[in-house]
Structure 1
Amino acid sequence: MRNVSFIRAVQLVSLSAVFSILTPLSILAEDKEMGQFIDNLMNKMTLEEKIGQLNLASGNTAAAILSGGESLVDEIKSGLIGATGGSSFEAIKKMQEASQQSRLKIPLLIGLDVIHGYHTVFPIPLALSCTWDVDLIEESARIAAREASAIGVNWTYSPMVDISRDPRWGRVSEGGGEDPWWGSQVATAMVRGYQGDDLKKSNTIMACVKHFALYGASEAGRDYNTVDMSRQQMLNDYLPPYRAAFDAGAGSAMSSFNLVDGIPATGNHWLMTDLLRRQWGWNGFVVTDFNAINEMVAHGIGDSLRVAELALKAGIDMDMQSEAFITYLKSSLDSGHITETDINQACRRVLEAKYKLGLFDDPYRYINEKRAATELLTGEHLAFARKIAARSMILLKNENNLLPLKKEGKIAVVGPFANDRGNLLGAWVMKRDKSKMASVTEGIRAVGGNRVEVVTAKGANITDDPYLLASLNSPFAMYMGEAIEQESRTPRQLLDEALQVSADADVIVAVLGESAAMSGEASSRSDISIPESQQNLLRALTATGKPVVLLLLNGRPLTLPWESEHVPAILEAWAPGTASGYAIADVLFGDYNPSGRLTMTFPRSVGQIPLYYNYKNTGRPFHAQNKFTSKYLDVPNEPLYPFGYGLSYTTFDYGDVHLDKTELQGSQDMLMASVNVTNTGNCEGEEVVQLYITDPIARISRPVKELKGCQKIFLCPGETRKVTFSITVNDLKYYDTDGHYDWDGGEFFIQIGANSAAVKSAGCVWNR
């Protein structure tokens, strides 16, 4: 794996600075050529056509087209729609054909939520981040782009780079976890994967960075809720992944639903113009989230006309679904509340995106019937899906080396997801193609071989809670996942069958967790434990005295205090995607030694939330012997499983941290920190070596530690490798309360270890 400390240093250089010094003449010529083309086109456009380019008709547009939606076709022909959504080859082709019947033949952007794969579904993004492998993450986005572009999609509403410290928020499943540094690496990898090295290639798609900004900090973990924080916290903790994605060349961004400094992001001029365009120098276009302009009315800042004006003047270029721009902008222009320059600026950015995608050269470059028939769910893609799914799983507990399982004897696979396929795909899956999938039971049978006898039972419903069940079976929830069918048998009958099936098994694999619709958008939970119906099953299975492996399928960190204490082995599999059954079996049997590591903290209780590793100390840090320090009466402060945590089927030993010098001088100096890591177990395996830095004395209170680098290494039994990190002052910088980005001279602690709670430390002094 590349030295990501160096990558971060590169990313911190602003694009404007790079362009002013290093921009090749070919790029400048291309920009000039694009500018001239857009100028000529806009000189021919009417006001109505310009406003039409700002209109994204989303929702069920493909279904409307295929069912004879001539009004939508007519709007496209009239130049009143600049972009649509689509997941059907036939519908996309028909819509793009309609665009070529418009007066100026301006092609459409075709957007879709390609979040973690398209036909070939990869693990949810949170799980992808747990691979700690940017090359694999980038390749997953590359394959997703190849598949989606084959049916005509040229724009994806991804990556979601929102940092979140609250697992109650369902959309943590779509992001890279809680850490701004690692989130930045993931964001960069996803953008590169989608966009490749040339957006005009027909197998690339334009990325849309979302949700700009701060959406992951919604109060109480409730979707669409208020966000309120200081500028210093924004800049240090929440904004870095967005910046990294933009610096990686992302072509578009999506505004978030929440408030930023008391103003909805969609109408926030400081966010969309002052910060994004003037300070960061980014030149892509911004689209709203679904109906976000109209929803600003409920925030109490104006009526429909007023919020449309606010959005445009703030820096929004395209309106998704609300039709506020095409409804109100002409009258706002007539009344003088906006200018034609405002409209032209937004229109230009949208047209530039189409130019960069090569759509003016060939509106049909992304519509290829041959590719649509041959590039979806290929053997190569399925093999990669199996590989990355296995590498995203995390071994949380393995008492007495219960895992890996032996490929012999009798295994009982029990639980509501034991024979399920659809829920293994997770939320935000546009094509739930299960034709090449295997359930967990099927995967264990296939990988285990003919010496393994597999028996199975459902054992419990996903939930017996009528309120939760009604929520999960609502129309939108079923759009995100699948309907939950309750058994006609009683819970007692289901449990009795599971106990009977397991009676003479050598080991029980309990397949429990969340359905696909229990995480993702609009899927916040106040209780993030395993549903009670499944807990009852697990308690009964452990009471048999047989060894039990808890296989977790879920989209967020869960509270697992009882499970962690009473179940001997726990494997976190998340929602692993199309290759779920086989990849899970690969890990259970040890064909692959798990190497995933948590990118989001697992709390003991929801009462600890928000809980994250890079917290700031109080004036009264915890002390066991002093009541009047920061702690709870009923649970420890520490999480159940910390950030960066994960076990292996082998063991690793870390030597002391060695620094090549203990005193450094000035901003040009560099520190080399190294540690010897030894595989002390009996099998080969991968370890994620993590670098953290502590700044104990600074201008503002700093986190107790911050992740600044990682390397994933492979070691054979008995092998030792020296792992070295290069550290520069860029790794020490932060934003102070005045918005200055700088570093403090003084003492620093360099920490290297297996996770955020298990590090070895060495100190140095770095003088300015």
Structure 2
Amino acid sequence: MSNDALPVDSRIQSLLARMTLEEKAGQLGVFADMVRPFAPDVNPETNMRNAAQVLDDVRAGRVGTLFNGVGAAQGRQIQRVAVEESRLGIPVLLAADVIHGMRTVFPIPLGEAASFEPELAERTARATAVEATAAGLHWTFAPAVDVARDQRWGRGAEGAGEDTLLGCAFAAARVRGFQGDDLRAADALLATPKHFAAYGAVAGGMDYNYVEISDGTLHDVHLPPFKAALDAGALTVMTAFNDINGVPASANQALLTGVLRGQWGFPGVVVSDYTADMELVAHGYAEDDRDATLRAFTAGMDMSMQSGFYAAHLPALVESGQVPLPLLDAAVGRVLALKAAIGLFDDPYRSLDPAREADASHLEAHEALAREAARRSIVLLKNEGGVLPLAGGQRIALVGPFARDLDNIEGCWTLFGDRTRYVSLEAGLRAGLPAEASLQVVDGCGLETALEGGIEAAVAAARAADVVLLAVGEPQRYSGEAQSRTRIELPPAQQALAEAVAATGTPVVVLLRNGRALALEGAVRDAQAILVTWFLGSQTGHAVADVVFGGYSPSARLPVSFPHASGQQPYFYNHPRTGRPETPQMSEFKARWREYPNTALYPFGHGLGYGRIEYGPVRVDAPVLEWDGALKVRATVRNVGACMAEEVVQLYLHDRVASRVRPVRELKGFRKLALAPGQSCEVVFELDRGQLAFTRADGSFGAEPGRFEVWIAPSAAAGEPAGFELLQPPA
């Protein structure tokens, strides 16, 4: 759906003419849905009192949107009060944080990005929309499209990793999946790219922290995924908590009005993150609540979430002349137009059908999709001696705190998952166990603490086994919002377990559960095989079994660089060149740490399958690229192994000389292809001037003539380049 989809509706003009200032401010308010809270058993008496107050506010026209409540029947009650009992009969938008699944939980977005399959994310988002709208929702506060270059930042789990091109592809795919082909359809879910902007660049990887960033990096790295999401049809955007070069994003006129409205022509609605307007006071950017309201609203933030500031202060600000009435009407008009775009004025009860909510006919298909998405998100980092896949008849020890665990299946920001359908590692492995194989399960330790006798039991199980599956990683609560870490490592109790098990000499396969790139140490780093299994969602156990037992050859690749040590952060593959690059010719005085080279332990794009892939040399069709022309780059990729394989073929580029120092490599394309044993394929990418463009030293955007290097490779650290020259524009 295109961005020009917001309708011009005579009903909206009629409503605006009849609305009081208080009712207009009410349409701009987003408040917690206490009529149908997602945790109804918590403080039920308080919930009942709050529910009555919320309905009174809806009846009085003081609420435009309610969020994080579910239930079709109670949703109909809310809408009936809005439509039949309020003065103007304006329906309410019903929203929620539905990030990577509803009742069926899919892999965390970072894990799903490892698939390098945007179409997979589009399918899981579509399934999520079907379930969310059946539960009485119109709007989700997703996808997160922040580019995360510092793995200490916990919210990287919600995005697509450290690369902008990959982030753009997944942002667009998720918007298409959530919204579908017709916004008025009962299963269409409004998408909200967030957090606008540069939230992934918070200093030190500390959540909510400040952002100091150049215009070039802002425009070339952090803004493109938002533009991709809007081009895919997103009609809402959520602001970020952080400031940018001293100006909070939620009151940043240059971004909210200059970029969004002016440069991009965005016709939709800008909504704050939770109390982001209130936080302008804590930032020291606004003097008080009234000033915060004035600054946020006049900068371009249409809707205020949960603070109540707009309802409390906008009417008086308009009456005093500090906020022009046309500016208020424009914002309210956009909110009403959004409601019209999804058909709420014609059918206030759309997506509020209790019969549809009770229909479980989709669950089997969604569970199959969850299993597919989960296994396609698993990255095989290493596989020494071909220990994987496991063979029939082996004695297997499943060891670790995640072996039987069901509390760390979902990953961050999952409010509504159906826990009765979650599949543990033990359950999945037992279901897929090959003939005559045996499985012994030992916890060994807790997530963060030792267990009495735990290591002894784990060691005994390892000694009696042919192979150990070591299920270790981050607890679920270590990643996500407000979960920044200074040391991105395993908890000490788990590391101690790993060391003890590895000391038995039994081959170890690490099943790593994580919401970010981790710095792997000791026995975990040195294990014979390592599978990155992220937080995979409902079908975790079955998906891992599919890969471990060879039913599926792992095909995912890292969307983030795994560092040698926590102290390397921020580390990202596409860092700028330095005047002292990492070169073997110079032993000390170069860009490095004392302890480690300026490289990744496992680079962006890395991953293995059960086949063995070889790349032929990179070839360009011509030594020059005409200014308005195109150039084909090609390489032959062959599976020389004995197993079927899916390979993510990656195209990288480097601009050798430019007006701003350029990254050592930049991803410019990728293609996933299936290769049977012995099969080869010539992979062809096409380059044009647009793919060479960047924000130049003078602030303009475009390409510069000169020499370029280009790779077709299996990761950001592999391969040998070919070269070409971009010619000057014709006179």
Equivalent in the alignment of 1:508: 468
8 Å CA contact retained: 2:651, 2:710: yes
How far apart are the structure 1 equivalents of 2:613 and 2:590? 35
How far apart are the structure 2 equivalents of 1:98 and 1:707? 52
Equivalent in the alignment of 2:296: 311
Q: Deviations over 1:619-662 (max 9, x none)?
A: 12123434222211111211111000001111100001121111
Equivalent in the alignment of 1:388: 373
Q: Deviations over 1:42-88 (max 9, x none)?
A: 11211111110001012655237963521110000111000001223
Q: Deviations over 1:537-561 (max 9, x none)?
A: 0100000111111101111110003
How far apart are the structure 1 equivalents of 2:89 and 2:231? 32
How far apart are the structure 1 equivalents of 2:723 and 2:325? 59
Q: How does 1:120-139 map to 2 (within 5 A)?
A: 120-139=104-123
8 Å CA contact retained: 2:104, 2:538: yes
Give 1:377 deviation, angstroms. 6.2
Equivalent in the alignment of 2:563: 603
Q: Deviations over 1:157-209 (max 9, x none)?
A: 00000001111111000000001111001100011001111100111110011
Give 1:232 deviation, angstroms. 1.0
Equivalent in the alignment of 2:160: 176
Letter in 1 for 2:644: E
1:67 to 27, 48, 51: 48
Query: Structure 2: which 5+ residue stretches go unaligned?
Result: 38-43
Give 1:331 deviation, angstroms. 1.8
Q: How does 1:284-363 map to 2 (within 5 A)?
A: 284-301=268-285, 302-363=287-348
8 Å CA contact retained: 2:73, 2:353: no
1:89 to 72, 78, 100: 72
Equivalent in the alignment of 1:53: 27
How far apart are the structure 1 equivalents of 2:361 and 2:578? 53
Equivalent in the alignment of 1:266: 250
Letter in 1 for 2:82: S
1:533 aligns with 2:493: yes
Q: How does 1:724-763 map to 2 (within 5 A)?
A: 724-763=684-723
How far apart are the structure 1 equivalents of 2:82 and 2:713? 56
How far apart are the structure 2 equivalents of 1:387 and 1:404? 18
Shift in CA distance, 37/375, structure 1 to aligned 2, threshold 3 Å: farther
8 Å CA contact retained: 1:426, 1:576: yes
Q: Deviations over 1:704-727 (max 9, x none)?
A: 111010000000000011111111
TM-score of the pair, normalised by structure 1: 0.91
Equivalent in the alignment of 2:62: 80
Q: Deviations over 1:427-469 (max 9, x none)?
A: 11112322222210111110114522111111001003xxxxx
Secondary structure, in 3 states, of the residue corresponding to 1:422? coil
1:98 aligns with 2:92: no
How far apart are the structure 1 equivalents of 2:163 and 2:247? 26
1:419 aligns with 2:400: no
Q: How does 1:360-375 map to 2 (within 5 A)?
A: 360-375=345-360
2:428 to 423, 443, 448: 443
Secondary structure, in 3 states, of the residue corresponding to 1:308? helix
Give 1:496 deviation, angstroms. 1.6
1:630 aligns with 2:591: yes
Letter in 1 for 2:457: E
Q: How does 1:175-214 map to 2 (within 5 A)?
A: 175-214=159-198
Letter in 2 for 1:632: W
Give 1:333 deviation, angstroms. 1.9
Letter in 1 for 2:77: K
Equivalent in the alignment of 1:246: 230
How far apart are the structure 2 equivalents of 1:583 and 1:389? 6
How far apart are the structure 2 equivalents of 1:228 and 1:169? 16
How far apart are the structure 1 equivalents of 2:709 and 2:684? 16
How far apart are the structure 2 equivalents of 1:72 and 1:55? 12
CA RMSD of the aligned region, Å? 1.7
Q: How does 1:440-519 map to 2 (within 5 A)?
A: 440-464=425-449, 491-519=451-479
1:640 aligns with 2:623: no
Letter in 2 for 1:638: T
8 Å CA contact retained: 1:59, 1:321: no
Give 1:527 deviation, angstroms. 1.1
8 Å CA contact retained: 2:238, 2:271: yes
How far apart are the structure 2 equivalents of 1:272 and 1:336? 22
How far apart are the structure 2 equivalents of 1:703 and 1:530? 31
Letter in 1 for 2:604: F
Q: Deviations over 1:10-44 (max 9, x none)?
A: x9xxx89xx7xxxxxxx7xx84xx33231122112
Equivalent in the alignment of 2:516: 556
Equivalent in the alignment of 2:40: none
How far apart are the structure 1 equivalents of 2:362 and 2:515? 23
Q: Deviations over 1:279-305 (max 9, x none)?
A: 111111011000111111011122111
Q: Deviations over 1:80-132 (max 9, x none)?
A: 00000122334323222221221111111111111001111000000010000
Relative to structure 2, which stretch is displaced further, 66-75 or 282-291? 66-75
2:611 to 650, 653, 659: 650
Letter in 1 for 2:432: V
Count of residues in Structure 1 that have an aligned counterpart in Structure 2: 716
2:580 to 620, 634, 640: 620
Shift in CA distance, 461/502, structure 1 to aligned 2, threshold 3 Å: same
Letter in 1 for 2:492: E
Letter in 1 for 2:589: F
Q: How does 1:140-179 map to 2 (within 5 A)?
A: 140-179=124-163
TM-score of the pair, normalised by structure 2: 0.96
Secondary structure, in 3 states, of the residue corresponding to 2:506? coil
How far apart are the structure 1 equivalents of 2:433 and 2:485? 36
Give 1:270 deviation, angstroms. 0.7
How far apart are the structure 2 equivalents of 1:90 and 1:67? 16
How far apart are the structure 2 equivalents of 1:741 and 1:407? 58
Shift in CA distance, 223/388, structure 1 to aligned 2, threshold 3 Å: same
Secondary structure, in 3 states, of the residue corresponding to 1:535? helix
Query: Structure 1: which 5+ residue stretches go unaligned?
Result: 1-10, 20-26, 465-489
Equivalent in the alignment of 1:431: 416
